[in-house]
Amino acid sequence: MDNTQDKQTEAKPEEQQQNEAQQQPEAQQQQQEENADEAKAPEQPAADDEVEKLKKQIADLNDKYVRTCAEYDNYRKRTAREKADLIKGAGSDILAALLPVIDDFERALAHMNDDADVNAVKDGVALIYKKFNDYLAKRGVTVIETKELPLDTNVHEAITMIPAPTPELKGKILDCVEKGYMLGDKVLRFAKVVVGQ
């Protein structure tokens, strides 16, 4: 019996050694996992800091985008308002310059009934007409020439055709029914003309 006990005691240390040998890699593995967790623990706050930093950057960029859109919208509205004011201002200047012509017409009408001299009335109306034409010329308005010129559909509007009195006047303007006007290179009103055929 002693032999069997000795064998069992000898066997036990071998088993224990094997168990201990198996437990050692498990312990080492646990130790490595703990070390890895410890190593990850400092990385976790760094990652959180990085996420917060990126969130802040996104918020800043979004704020800049919203502000840029608002500034552009304000710019667009301001320029549209300035353009409308400029157009109104230009119109008011033109109308203010026409007021003296209206005053002249009112004075002429007031004296027409009192004045027995028809020539004086004619001279007064001629002066008003000249004043008004001078005003238009200062603003760049010119009369479209028509007398015996060839028909130009860019500036003339033929309202009728009549037989030409001479062969040279065929296709040319014989009469102007309504004067046309240009403002620089732009047609304000086409000249209404009669053309010979």
For residues 11-19, give the mean pLDDT: 57
Cβ count within 10 A of residue 50:
10
Q: Per-residue pLDDT tens for 106-137?
A: 888 887 777 677 788 888 888 999 998 898 89
Task: Tell me: pLDDT of 60 over 90.
Answer: yes
Residue-level pLDDT at 31: 67
Residue-level pLDDT at 16: 59
Q: What is the pTM of this model?
A: 0.52
Half-sphere exposure of 168 (CA within 13 A, CB side): 2
Counting residues of the chain whose pLDDT is more than 90, the rounded percentage is 34
For residues 3-15, give the mean pLDDT: 52
DSSP 170: T
- Which helix (H) or strand (E) is 46 found in, with range? helix 2-114
Task: Tell me: pLDDT of 37 over 70.
Answer: no
Q: Per-residue pLDDT tens for 128-180?
A: 999 988 988 988 899 999 888 898 889 999 999 999 888 888 888 999 999 99
Residue scoring higher pLDDT (195 or 44):
195
Cα dihedral 16, 22, 24, 26 sign:
negative
Task: Tell me: pLDDT of 1 over 90.
Answer: no
Question: For the chain, what is the mean pLDDT?
Answer: 81
Burial of residue 193 (CB within 10 Å: 0-12, 13-18, 19+) is: buried
Residue-level pLDDT at 58: 96
Residue-level pLDDT at 184: 86
Q: How far apart are alpha carbons 192 and 34 in whole angstroms?
A: 102
DSSP 181: E
